[in-house]
Amino acid sequence: MSAAIGIIATALVLGSAYALVGLGYNLCFVALRTINFAQGQMYMVAAFVYAELFAHGYHIVPAVLIACAIGAAMGLVIERGIISPVMNRGFTHGNLQASVLGTVAASIVIQEIANRLWGSTILPAPAFFGSGFVRIGTAVITYGQMTAVGGAIVLYILLWLLTRKTTVGLYLRATAANPVVTSLQGVNNRLVVSFAFSLAGVITAMAGILVSPLNGVSTSTGIELATYGMLAALVGGLGRMSGVIPAGYAMGFVEILVSYYWTSQYPDLVLYVVIFVTLVGPSLIKGVRDSQSVKRARRQVPNAGS
């Protein structure tokens, strides 16, 4: 029982990180039908800023606010400086490949700058409520784990309320559906798109702030989270905000269960295989069924003619 509680707690933390970064990807995709591959590096930079500020004597609250502002600024710069210029000022979905390559280049630049600034250093980050813990039997659940999961849930709820219950959310969904019509109705599409990318930066920054106290911050965390967050967005469905959250948590549970009960050497490989089957399996099954239907139809044609 105690082992199960520890596994669940760890899986929920991982799933929270994957889902939050995946939500950042999805927000960018909803806004401009493109993918910002610098999300993982934004996570890493925000976490480093948060840890550095606290190390230099800042209180947690201003450290969080500044790190979130950095995340929002990075999202805005990438949108205004890279994506929108190659996608016709952000109002069409052309030049998709160029915009995606631009974000890949941005992620490489950010990664190299981080390597120069912090190198292989692993900085400790402060937890919101200290380093205490709760003991359930022999299982130990830290305040940091509870904060990461609880904070993620709060962010999910706030994002749902924003996108579904506010005028800003209505503008965002309308712009994603048909930017030409919303522009004719007086909506500032450019401002809506910029807001979406800034919000994605804030969510990604909060993911770094919530999760970094558990394992510290290093320059490699951005690459790892970029991969898993992208996979969560793909499994959950790009453009489907509600699908990313269960996909992220499912990935977290698969990774931890494989590592604990099977092998701790290749949990990533098993996770990739599961994701591949999840993504490709339905298409393969549908293709087989369609081919069988075509064969049956061809066999019935002579009988119908006779």
| Domain covering 2-262 in this structure, CATH number | 1.10.3470
Query: Do 79 and 91 meet the contact criterion of CB atoms below 8 Å apart?
Result: no
Name the range with the highest mean pLDDT among 2-16, 28-42, 148-162, 292-306. 148-162
- State yes or no: pLDDT of 199 exceeds 70: yes
Going by pLDDT thresholds of 50, 70 and 90, the confidence category of residue 270 is: low
Instruction: Specify whether the CB–CB gap between 110 and 127 falls below 8 A.
Output: no
Confidence of residue 304 (pLDDT cuts 50, 70, 90): very low
- The alpha carbon dihedral of 222, 66, 199, 208 has a sign of positive
Q: Say how far apart CA 33 and CA 37 lie, in whole Å.
A: 13
- pLDDT at residue number 75: 92
Question: 49: helix, coil or strand?
Answer: helix
181 pLDDT higher than 90: no
For tokens 């990739």, name the residue: 272
| Spans of all domains in the chain | 2-262, 269-306
Min mean pLDDT across 30-39, 60-69, 91-100, 278-287 is at 278-287
Give the per-residue pLDDT at 188.
85
Instruction: Render pLDDT for 84-103 as a digit per residue (tens, 0 to 9).
Output: 887 664 444 456 777 888 88
What are the angstrom distances between the C-alpha of 209 and each of 76, 82, 117, 144, 299?
19, 26, 19, 11, 62
d(C-alpha 188, C-alpha 185), whole Å: 9
Question: Does 1 score more than 70 pLDDT?
Answer: no
| SS3 at position 216 | coil
* Lowest mean pLDDT across 8-17, 194-203, 283-292: 283-292
> Is pLDDT of 296 > 70?
no
Rounded Cα–Cα distance for residues 240 and 28 (Å):
12
Cβ neighbourhood burial of 207 (10 Å; 0-12, 13-18, 19+): buried
Average pLDDT of span 182-194? 84
Predicted local confidence at residue 306, as pLDDT: 47
**66 against 93, higher pLDDT:** 66
User: Taking the alpha carbons of 174, 177, 183, 188 in that order, is the dihedral positive or negative?
Assistant: positive
Q: What are phi and psi of 219, to 5 degrees?
A: -70, -10
The predicted-structure confidence for 133-177, as pLDDT tens digits, reads as follows 787 777 778 888 888 899 999 999 999 899 888 888 888 888 877
pLDDT for residue 297 is more than 70: no
Model pLDDT, residue 275: 66
Task: Look at residue 36 and tell me whether its pLDDT is greater than 50.
Answer: yes
When mean pLDDT is compared across 83-97, 117-131, 135-149, 201-215, the lowest value belongs to 83-97
Residue 131: predicted pLDDT: 74
